[in-house]
Amino acid sequence: MSIFYAVIMGLIQGVTEFLPVSSSGHLAIFSGLFHIETPGMLFDVLLHVGTLIAVILCFYRDIGKLLAELLGMIVDLVRNLNVWFSNLTSESRRSYVKIVSNGYRKFDLLMLVATIPTGIIGVWDASLVEKLGSILLAPGICLIGTGFLLMLCERIRPGDKTPRNTTYSNAFMIGIAQGIATLPGVSRSGMTLTACLGSSFKRNYAVRFTFILSIPAILGSLIFELGDVDLSQISSGDAVSYIIGMAVAAVVGFFCIRVMLVIVRRQRFLPFSIYCFALGAVAIVAWLVQK
C-alpha cells in the first residue's frame, strides 16, 4: 500500500467517524463507485485504533475519572459482599457502602447499560451489514435517512439532564440507537447524539456521552476483527503505511471531535444533512445506472 493511499484512507476515517456523515456509508459508496479493494483487516483495525486514540485524547480527564470510579465500584462491591457474609454469621449488623455515590459512577453504569444492546445488535446483524455494504442502494437510502435524522436533531431542544438524573432506560434506548448505526450509511455519532438530545441531555453531556460511548463499541469491533488479522502477509513497507494511516485518522479525528463540540453548541446540523442527502442520491443513481 502506498503512503498516499494510507493518508487518504486515514483522512476519510478520521473525518467521517466523528462528523455525522457515516464512515461506513462512505466506505461502501467509494468501494462501489471506484471499485476500491479493501487494504486488509489489519489496516481497518489500525484505522479504528486511530479514532480510539482521538477520543481518548479529547476526553482523557473524563475517561481517567471513569476508570478510577469503575475500580472504586468494584472495590466497594467486594466490600459489600464481605459485609453481607459477615452479617450472616454475626449478630451485629454492619452497614453497606453506597456503590453509585457520584456522577461518574452513574456514568459508568449508564455506559454499561447502553453497550449491551449495541453489542447484541452488532453481533446479530454483522452478516446483514456486510451484504448491505456491497449494494449501493442500501447506504444511499440510509444516508438519506441520516439526513432527515440530522434535520430532526437541529430542531430538538436540549434538556437539563446530567448523569445523576439520567435513567437506565434512557441509556438502553441510546444503546439501541448506536446499534442501529452499524448499518452502512447511518451515522453513529448522528444517531447517538440525536438519541441523547431526544432524551433531554444537556448539550455538553450529550457530546461526552456520545463519544465516550464509542470506546466500548470500537474496542468490541477491534476484538471481533483481530481474529482475522494475518500478520505474516504484511510487508515492512505496508506496516509503515498502516501506521501513518492510523496517525492521520487519530489527528484528523481529534480535530473533528472539537468541531462537533462547536456544532452541537450552536446546533447547526443542516449542512451535514444536505451533504447526506446529496451523497445518498449519488449512491442511489449510481445503483440504478449499474443495474
Looking at the chain, the whole-number percentage of residues with pLDDT higher than 70 is 89
**Overall number of domains in the chain:** 1
Residue 168 pLDDT exceeds 90: yes
Calculate the CA 264 to chain-centre distance: 16
Average pLDDT of span 218-228: 73
Range of the domain at 178: 3-290
pLDDT, residue 227, reads 65
> What's the pLDDT tens digit per position in 62-115?
999 999 999 999 999 999 999 888 888 877 778 888 998 899 999 999 999 999
Average pLDDT of span 138-146: 89
**SS3 (DSSP) at 161:** strand
Spatial CA neighbour of 194 closest among 280, 276, 278: 276
Question: Would you say 53 and 252 are in contact if contact means Cβ atoms under 8 Å apart?
Answer: no
> pLDDT higher for 106 or 13?
106
